A and B are shown apart, each in its own frame.
Chain A
Amino acid sequence: MPVSRTRNFCIIAHVDHGKTTLSDRLLEHTNTVSQRMLTAQHLDSMDLEKERGITIKSHPVTMTYRAQDGKDYKLNLMDTPGHVDFSYEVSRSLAACEGAVLLIDAGQGVEAQTVANAHLAFAQQLKVIPVINKIDLPSANLELCTRQLEDILTIPAEEAILASGKSGIGIVDILEAVVARVPSPRWTDYPQARILVFDSLYDAYRGCIAYVRVFSGSIKAHDMMMLMSTGQKAEVKEVGIFTPKMEKCATLGPGDVGYIVSSIKTPADVKTGDTITLAARPATEMLPGYKEVRPMVFCGLYPLESDDYEKLKAGLARLQLNDAAFVYSSESSIALGFGFRCGFLGLLHMEIIQERVRREHDVDIISTYPSVIYHIVKQGGEKIEVDNPVNMPDPGTILEIREPTIRASIIIPNDSMGDMLSLIMEKRGMCDHTTTLDMNRVMLSAILPLNEILVDFNDRLKSITHGYGSMDYELGEYVVSDLVKMDIMINGDPVDAFACIVHREKAEGKGRQLCEKLAEIIPPQMFKVAIQAAIGGKVIARDNVREMRKDVTAKCYGGDISRKRKLLDKQKEGKKKMKQIGKVSIPPDAFIQVLKN
Chain B
Amino acid sequence: MGEMTAMPPGCTQVAAPGSPRSPDGPLGLYVHVPFCAATCDFCAFYQTVPTADGVGHYLEGIAAEAALVEWTRPVNTVFWGGGTPGLLAPVDLLRLGTTVRARLGGEPEEWTVELAPASVTAARLEVLRELGVTRVSLGVQSFQPGLLDALGRLHTREQVFRAYGLVRAAGFASVNLDLMFALPGQDEAAWLADLGAALALAPDHLSTYCLTFEEDTKLWVKLSQGRVKLDPEHEARLYEMTWARLAAAGYAQYEVSNFARPGHACRHNLNTWRMHEWIGLGPSAASQHAGFRGANIADLGRWLAHVARGERATEDRVMLTPALLAEDALIFGLRMNAGVDLAALRVLFPAAPWTDVAATIARLVDGGLAKRDDDMLCLTPRGRLLADAVGTELLGAFGANAVG
Binding site for B on A (CB under 8 A): 524, 526-528, 548-559, 561-562, 564-569, 571-572, 575, 583
Contact = CB atoms under 8 A, between A and B. Distances in A.
A553 B286 contact: no
Contacts, number: 110
A561 B293 contact: yes
Contacts of B272: 557-558, 561
Contacts of B294: 562
Contacts of B369: 526-527
Contacts of B278: 558
27 contacts: A526-B386, A526-B389, A527-B363, A548-B232, A549-B232, A550-B236, A552-B239, A552-B256, A552-B386, A552-B388, A553-B387, A554-B211, A554-B212, A557-B269, A557-B272, A558-B30, A558-B280, A559-B286, A561-B288, A562-B295, A562-B318, A565-B328, A565-B404, A566-B404, A569-B395, A575-B396, A583-B363
A553 B212 contact: yes
B256 A559 contact: no
Contacts of A562: 286, 293-295, 316, 318
Contacts of B45: 559
Nearest to A527: B367
B331 interface: yes
Contact of A575 (B256, B331, B388, B392): B392
Contacts of A567: 388
Interface string B195-230: 000000000000001111000000000000000000
A548 B393 CA distance: 14
Contacts of A549: 232-233, 235-236, 385-386
B328 A559 contact: no
A595 B293 CA distance: 46
B385 A556 contact: no
Of the candidates B45, B285, B384, B392, the one having the most CB atoms from chain A within 10 angstroms of its own CB is B392
Nearest to B392: A571
B212 A555 contact: yes
Contact of A569 (B211, B332, B335, B404): B404
Interface string B105-122: 000000000000000000
A556 B258 CA distance: 11
A202 B273 CA distance: 67
B273 A556 contact: yes
A568 B391 CA distance: 7
B144 interface: no
A554 B210 contact: yes
B367 A558 contact: no
A564 B257 CA distance: 16
B253 interface: no
Given A527-B363, A527-B367, A552 B288 contact: no
A550 B212 contact: no
A548 B28 CA distance: 36
Interface residues of B, number: 50
B138 interface: no
A528 B363 CA distance: 11
Interface of B: 28, 30, 45, 81, 209-212, 232-233, 235-236, 239, 256-257, 269, 272-273, 278, 280, 284-288, 293-295, 316, 318, 328, 331-332, 335, 363, 367, 369, 384-393, 395-396, 404
A561 B333 CA distance: 12
B292 to A, nearest CB: 11
A110 B239 CA distance: 67
A554 B286 contact: no
Nearest to A546: B233
Contacts of A550: 232-233, 235-236, 239, 385-386
Contacts of B387: 551-553
Contacts of A561: 272, 286, 288, 293, 328, 332
Contacts of A527: 363, 367, 369
Given A550-B235, A559-B285, A575-B392, 10 more contacts: A549-B233, A551-B385, A551-B389, A552-B387, A553-B387, A557-B272, A564-B332, A565-B328, A567-B388, A568-B331
Nearest to B180: A554
Nearest to B266: A557
A583 to B, nearest CB: 7
Contacts of A554: 209-212, 256-257
Contacts of A565: 328, 331, 404
Contacts of B363: 527, 583
A575 B280 CA distance: 33
Contacts of B331: 565, 568
A529 to B, nearest CB: 10
Nearest to A583: B363
Of the candidates B28, B269, B295, B391, the one having the most CB atoms from chain A within 10 angstroms of its own CB is B391
B295 A555 contact: no
A55 B363 CA distance: 58
B209 A555 contact: yes
A552 B212 contact: no
A555 B280 contact: no
A568 B404 CA distance: 9
Contacts of B30: 558-559
A562 B332 CA distance: 11
A562 B319 CA distance: 12
Given A556-B273, A561-B272, A565-B328, A551 B367 contact: no
A551 B233 CA distance: 10
A57 B312 CA distance: 71
B257 A555 contact: yes
B384 A552 contact: yes
A508 B404 CA distance: 47
Nearest to B207: A555
Contacts of A548: 232, 386, 389
A528 B367 contact: yes
A524 B256 CA distance: 21
Contacts of A575: 392, 396
Contacts of A551: 232, 385-389
Of the candidates A552, A562, A575, the one having the most CB atoms from chain B within 10 angstroms of its own CB is A552
A554 B178 CA distance: 12
B194 to A, nearest CB: 15
A596 B389 CA distance: 28
A572 B392 contact: yes
Contacts of A524: 232
Contacts of A569: 395, 404
A568 B256 CA distance: 17
B232 A558 contact: no
Given A558-B288, A559-B286, A553 B388 contact: yes
Contacts of B404: 565-566, 569
B101 to A, nearest CB: 20
A512 to B, nearest CB: 25
A473 to B, nearest CB: 46
Contacts of B284: 559
Contacts of B388: 551-553, 567-568, 571
Given A552-B256, A561-B272, A569-B404, A526 B393 contact: yes
A547 to B, nearest CB: 9
Contacts of A583: 363
